[in-house]
Amino acid sequence: MQIKQFDSVNELTTAVAKEIIESVKANPKLVLGLSTGSSPIGVYSAMVRDHKENGTSYKEVTTFNLDEYVGLEPSDVNSYRHFMNEQLFDHIDIPKEQTHVPMGIGDLVDNCKKYEEKIRAAGGIQLQLLGIGTNGHIAFNEPGASFDSLTHIEQLTEDTVSANVKFFKSEDQVPRQAITMGIQSILNCRRIILMAYGAKKAKVVKEMVEGPISPAVPASVLQKHGDVTLFLDNESTALL
């Protein structure tokens, strides 16, 4: 795993945005994997700013998001589809039909199968952006998740529910299940950028980088991938 360390969150998010923008410029038909949570918000605003100021175009880019809550309509303000539209898609020139977020309503098993088919039909994800949960999850693959999983339905742990309550009015509103790309779907991505910052992530960053590869810390599986770059700040690297 390659590590890039930054003195500030602003420098870190700017650098991640730059990587994505350069990849889009090098390949205007990039198949780009995106993530949610608070970590990528600064990345998306830097991409929007660059699109407005420098005209980087996303007209031919295809995106796949990692996950979505079960039971939320795409129009729900707490859905990851809504988050992505609001943070990024509504402000760049990507046609919405080229943006994919798993569907958390309807026939969930069929939605999972179709999502993998769509990724395959697009030729696979070339660059995937990841965050990391304080319990080591990537996307919504919680501790214990199988390493050979594809897109599936996942039961969220209480840790994750508490960590994500910041986006909801109260804890009982946080869905307890999600549709998520699996660990194998993530390992299939050609190149991975994982970003993490803040003291809260220091313990899990150490486990991901130095710990044994174990389903107890799903992100540790990234040690097996040949092209992963970690974008970290000084606080999240404090225990390395």
Q: Which residues bind ligand GLP (CB under 6 A)?
A: 35-39, 66-67, 131-133, 139-140, 160, 164
Smaller CB distance to ligand GLP: residue 62 or 102?
A: 102
Distance between CA 240 and CA 235 in Å, rounded? Answer: 10
User: Among 115, 22, 25, which Cα is nearest to 65's?
Assistant: 115
Sign of CA dihedral 54, 125, 205, 150: positive
Distance between CA 224 and CA 187 in Å, rounded? Answer: 8
Query: Does residue 135 have an active-site annotation?
Result: yes
Return the ∠ at Cα 202 (arms to 223 and 175), rounded to 5°.
85
Smaller CB distance to ligand GLP: residue 15 or 27?
A: 15
Least separation, in Å, of the C-beta of 178 and ligand GLP? 7
Least separation, in Å, of the C-beta of 53 and ligand GLP? 26
Catalytic pick among 50, 142, 154, 233: 142
Q: How many helices (H) and strands (E) does the chain have?
A: 7, 10
Query: Does residue 137 have an active-site annotation?
Result: yes
Smaller CB distance to ligand GLP: residue 131 or 175?
A: 131
Smaller CB distance to ligand GLP: residue 33 or 51?
A: 33
Least separation, in Å, of the C-beta of 35 and ligand GLP? 5
User: Among 176, 118, 177, which Cα is nearest to 152's?
Assistant: 177
- Residues marked as catalytic: 67, 135, 137, 142
